[in-house]
Chains A and B, each alone.
Chain A
Amino acid sequence: MNMYWHELRANLRSLILWSVGIVSLIAAGMAKYAGFVSAGDSINALFAAMPPAIQAIAGSNRLDLSKASGFYGVCFLYIAVMATIHASMLGANSLAKEERDKTSEFLYTKPVSRTQVITSKLLAALTNIVILNLITWGSSLLLVGYFGQGEDVSRYIRTLMAGLFCIQLLYLSFGSVSAAFARKPAAAAGIATAIMMGTFLLSMLIDINSDLDVLKYLTPFKCYDAKLLLPPNGIEPVYLLLSAGLVVVSIVAAYLLYQRKDLAV
């Protein structure tokens, strides 16, 4: 329990910074919506007439920008990218920072097992992403409600936040497993970054070329795409199962690898 609280305190500053970043992103986005909606009709008609490949590149396919929900859906990709960076860095650094800051000898000579250390650190990280998710949820509801001109988007936002949480969990566990896997502490964040950038760029590639559609299972950015989650659709069970499987496998791998890891001292 001590370790849990210590971790929470250690991550507090970065959590505050990321929350401020996300809230200001939503605020700026929705404030723009108010000005945009009056001039938006012609642009939407234009977008609708364009071929999917070009729409994809312009970053606005099948989301109606004249509606608050569509506009928020466009913002969602950016929110997801930010939450992804937060979660992967958190996962990688929670475990790796003891070696990096040369405090691992101190920590691992304490009368606690490695399992206990990992568990407390992962729980603290989980708490962090839950808080970030709730802050995103709350501020989205408030800001979309304020700028949204009466459209009821709470259900859509709920679905999106569930998707966001899945993305966060996935990248948190990817980060943890890369920390357990990396030989050098500095490499942990590097591997996590490679996974993050790789999946992000892959989702862009799929947008450009529909022949690559089968690859969508490889990138969470496609599985939890804002336009797929528009009501009445929810999250597809396949993606949920796939994500749950990946999270479980990564976490178990992180535990197993970290148990026997040769700590860099």
Chain B
Amino acid sequence: MNILMHELRMYRRSTLTWVMALAATTVFFLAMFPAFHRETAVVTQLLGAFPQLFREAFGVSVDMMVSVVGYYTFLIGYIALVGAVQAMNLGTSLLSREISGKTADFLLTKPVTRSRVVLGKLLAGLVILAFTNLVFITVSCATAFIVSSESFDIKLYLLLSFIVLFMQLIFYAIGFVISTIARRIKSVLPLTLGTVFGFYIISLFSSAIKDDSLRYLTPFRFFDTAYIVNHAAYELPFVLLGLGIIVVAFGVGFVVYRRRDIPAA
């Protein structure tokens, strides 16, 4: 409990910064909706002329595309990108900062087992992510209500919003397991940015060329927004894959950290 509270205190400022960044990204992008709506409304007619091809390319109906939910399907990728950087940064730094800050000996000579240390830190990270998403979803829904003149499907909107949480959990777990395996991580951000943007670029690339086999490779494409909009559900295989990654990463991280060598100061 002490560890949990201490970590929450340590990350207070950085969490607030990230939450504000995430909320600002969401608000700025959603604020573009009226302009987007104007621009697309003119050509909706024209697009209706070949709905077949259109559906092949996007898998979404034209009506849906021009609603705020349709617009949101494009944004969620960018928001998830910001969220993923935050989560992986958090997951990687929780344990590794004790080593790079030379405070690991202090912490690990206290009368608590390593499992409890890891558990306390992991829980603190989860609390931070939960808080982040709570604020994000509130801000996002509120902004959507303001910018959209028509009513929209709130269930779909929430389903899309929860992609960010899922993505954050996956990258949180990846960061966590890397920090237990790597001997010493000097600086967390380059590692985080490299990994997250690496996966992001694979996803941009695979969707630009419509290659679906790459979907299993990058968490950014686990949640196909077109499928979600059409079926009002996530795709089960990818949800299971995501959960699998999270569980395995947490499990491996725990086992490794209990017996690993800690470079002392």
Please state if A57 and B47 are interface contacts (CB–CB under 8 Å).
no
Please state if B32 and A201 are interface contacts (CB–CB under 8 Å).
no
Count of chain B residues near A, Cβ 8 A: 39
- Give CA–CA (A89, B85) in the complex, Å: 15
Please state if A57 and B74 are interface contacts (CB–CB under 8 Å).
yes
- Give CA–CA (A224, B120) in the complex, Å: 46
Give the most central of B36, B186, B209: most A CB within 10 Å.
Answer: B209
Question: Min CB distance, A53 to chain B, in Å?
Answer: 5
Please report B residues at the A interface, Cβ cutoff 8 Å: 21, 25, 28-29, 32, 35-36, 39-40, 42-43, 46-47, 50, 53-54, 57, 65, 74, 78, 82, 85, 100, 186-187, 189-190, 193-194, 197-198, 201, 204-205, 207-211
Please state if B36 and A32 are interface contacts (CB–CB under 8 Å).
no
Interface stretch of the complex, out of A110-118, A144-152, A190-198, A242-250: A190-198
Which 8 A/B pairs are nearest by Cβ-Cβ distance? A189-B189, A89-B190, A209-B32, A78-B201, A51-B43, A209-B35, A57-B74, A53-B39
How large, as a class, is the contact surface on chain A? 35 or more
Question: Min CB distance, A93 to chain B, in Å?
Answer: 6
Question: Min CB distance, A105 to chain B, in Å?
Answer: 15
Please report A residues at the B interface, Cβ cutoff 8 Å: 14, 17-18, 21, 25, 28-29, 32, 36, 42-43, 46, 49-54, 57-60, 74-75, 78, 81-82, 85, 89, 93, 97, 100-101, 186, 189-190, 193-194, 196-197, 201, 204-205, 208-212
Please state if A85 and B194 are interface contacts (CB–CB under 8 Å).
yes
Please state if B190 and A82 are interface contacts (CB–CB under 8 Å).
no
- Give CA–CA (A58, B54) in the complex, Å: 13
A-B contact pairs, 6 of them (CB 8 A): A32-B209, A51-B42, A89-B190, A93-B190, A190-B189, A210-B35
